[in-house]
Amino acid sequence: MKILHVTCSPRGQRSESHRLSSNIIGFLLRSDPTATVINRVVSGDAITQVDEHYAESQQSSADVTQEGSIARSDELIEELQSADVVVIGTPMHNFTVPAALKVWIDHIARVRRTFNVGAQGKTSLLRDRQVFVAVASGGRFSGINPRQPDFLTPYLKAVLGMIGLHALTFFSVEGTALGPEAVAEARNKTDQALHAYFSSV
């Protein structure tokens, strides 16, 4: 099994999203100790924005060039295609995905590579596989009386579903800005959810 670990927090390995996504990978490795993990860090300037060559390649009549960000897009798509499981560790920024994760998505959600457009609308080209999303949020966005909206979850379901990834499972550590006690409580709650999930599969 090959696991693709995508992380995008500007806090790197000190972040709650990295901790949570690493815990998910730990459970996956227990079930398959021979699995390999490919780490793809997309925070900061690790991946540049798509450029003019990329934009032109999205036109139906355009010849696909290998200049600029098209080559990086090909690399990231091939990396995704080769993975059996995807684990995404991400903070929630302003109710949705951070800019760094959006840049990765812009590279992998590419017409005629990971989806097509036709009379029936957009149709996916990738095979489905398990995708685990580990979310860290300063506020609370789920449960009873959430304090902030959640555009991250529906966006990821829609955009990853567009390219063929429908088997998404979300885990979250919420309230990280509410102090150490709130963080400890959130961690404990999420750890229990992880144990319950992986003991049932």
By residue range, what is the domain housing residue 11? Answer: 2-200
Give the burial class of 31: count Cβ atoms within 10 A of its Cβ; 0-12 exposed, 13-18 middle, 19 or more buried.
exposed
175: amino acid identity, one letter: G
Write the CATH number for 164: 3.40.50.360
CB-based burial, 48-60: b 16+ in 10 Å, e otherwise: eebeebbebbeee
Strand 115-118 with 85-91, pairing: unpaired
Number of structural domains (the chain) is: 1
Q: At what angle do helices 16-31 and 180-200 cross, to 10 degrees?
A: 20
Q: Could you report the per-residue pLDDT of 46-65, keeping only the tens digit for each? A: 999 988 878 877 776 656 66
pLDDT-above-90 percentage for the chain: 79
User: Could you give the CA distance from residue 167 to residue 131 in angstroms, rounded to a whole number?
Assistant: 6
What's this model's pTM, rounded to 2 decimal places?
0.94
Q: Could you report the per-residue pLDDT of 149-174, keeping only the tens digit for each? A: 999 999 999 999 999 999 999 999 99
Average pLDDT of every residue of the chain = 93
